[in-house]
């Protein structure tokens, strides 16, 4: 039996990864992290989606320590989400160490249930500049988990080289376009579906959707080409 653990926030990217995983694996577990995030509604959204999509199990983990250590606009209500980069070249929504922690805990969970893969929706093509969304980080993290637990495990990143339009095409390919569009939470200001229309996350999401809906054939062809080449 093929098993996978999906790092699941209830947002566009992780939900798209989840619906694909449900077709590719015999048993899919979802793991969501409560770190006192600004858009805490995402935990409720993730729980509803996990139930609707009938995953084998959905684990919500309290990792509040991350909030205490990492100061970001996503961990502090009094820090507005900015459209400008900070002096270090990163957006103020970057939560240092977040994916390091999430993938470590997902790896432990995968070890315990005998899963062969961790699936995460990180992406280097259309992203906010977060260093822990890059392919070289994922490869390094994968190597560390394998060596640290002495067990075969693969971190899969289905969206790594897709742009946002192609990510929408992937949701559609898996018969989940409406679910992803209307029931996920990607907005930094906590608005489900199309979002607030102002924050950087909403702008990226909407631009990708507009491109996909206006050029479905071309975007789908591009997605299929990348899938054929395992990109």
pLDDT tens for each residue of 58-88: 999 988 776 666 656 565 565 566 555 556 6
Residues 115-133 have a mean pLDDT of 86
- pLDDT band for position 185 (50/70/90)? very high
Percent of the chain with pLDDT over 90: 68
Q: How far apart are CA 160 and CA 55, in angstroms?
A: 23
Residues 186-199 have a mean pLDDT of 89
Distances (CA, A) of 159 to 56, 68, 71, 109, 121: 23, 30, 27, 22, 6
pLDDT at residue 64, as a whole number: 78
Which of 19-28, 35-44, 191-200 is most confident?
19-28
Burial class (CB in 10 A: 0-12, 13-18, 19+), 26: exposed
What's the length of the chain?
231
Residues 153-171 have a mean pLDDT of 97
Q: Is the pLDDT of residue 13 over 80?
A: yes
CB atoms within 10 A of CB 80: 12
Q: How far apart are CA 3 and CA 26, in angstroms?
A: 6
Q: Is the pLDDT of residue 90 over 70?
A: no
Higher pLDDT among residues 12 and 132, named by residue:
12
Annotated binding residues: 8-18, 187, 196, 199, 202
**What pLDDT, in 10s, does the model give residues 29-41?**
999 998 777 677 8
* Average confidence score pLDDT of the chain: 89
Do 50 and 8 touch, CB atoms closer than 8 A?
Answer: yes
pLDDT at residue 63, as a whole number: 82
| Pairing of β 57-62 and β 27-34 | parallel
Q: Is the pLDDT of residue 6 over 80?
A: yes
Which domains does the chain possess? Answer: 3-229 (3.40.50.620)
Picking from 156, 179, 218, the residue whose alpha carbon sits closest to that of residue 16 is: 179
Annotated binding residues for ATP: 8-18
Annotated binding residues for Zn(2+): 187, 196, 199, 202
Do 220 and 169 touch, CB atoms closer than 8 A?
Answer: yes
SS3 71: coil
**What pLDDT, in 10s, does the model give residues 125-161?**
765 677 888 999 999 999 999 999 999 999 999 999 9
């Amino acid at each position: 039996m093929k098993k996978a653990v999906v790092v699941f926030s209830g947002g566009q990217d992780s939900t798209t990864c989840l619906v694909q995983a449900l077709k590719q694996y015999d048993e899919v577990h979802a793991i969501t992290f409560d770190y006192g995030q600004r858009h805490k509604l995402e935990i409720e959204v993730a729980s509803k989606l996990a139930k609707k999509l009938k995953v084998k199990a959905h684990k919500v983990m309290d990792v509040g320590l991350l909030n205490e250590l990492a100061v970001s606009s996503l961990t502090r209500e009094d820090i507005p989400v900015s459209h400008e980069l900070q002096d270090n070249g990163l957006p103020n929504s970057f939560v240092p160490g977040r994916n390091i922690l999430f993938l470590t805990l997902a790896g432990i969970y995968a070890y315990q249930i005998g899963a062969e893969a961790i699936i995460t929706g990180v992406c280097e093509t259309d992203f906010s500049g977060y260093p822990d969304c890059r392919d070289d980080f994922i490869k390094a993290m994968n190597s560390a988990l394998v060596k640290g637990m002495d067990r075969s495990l693969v971190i899969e990143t289905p969206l790594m080289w897709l742009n946002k339009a192609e990510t929408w095409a992937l949701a559609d390919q898996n018969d989940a376009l409406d679910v992803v569009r209307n029931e996920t939470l990607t907005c930094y200001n906590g608005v489900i579906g199309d979002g607030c229309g102002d924050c950087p996350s909403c702008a990226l999401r909407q631009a990708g959707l507009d491109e996909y809906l206006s050029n479905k054939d071309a975007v789908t062809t591009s997605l299929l080409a990348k899938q054929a080449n395992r990109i």
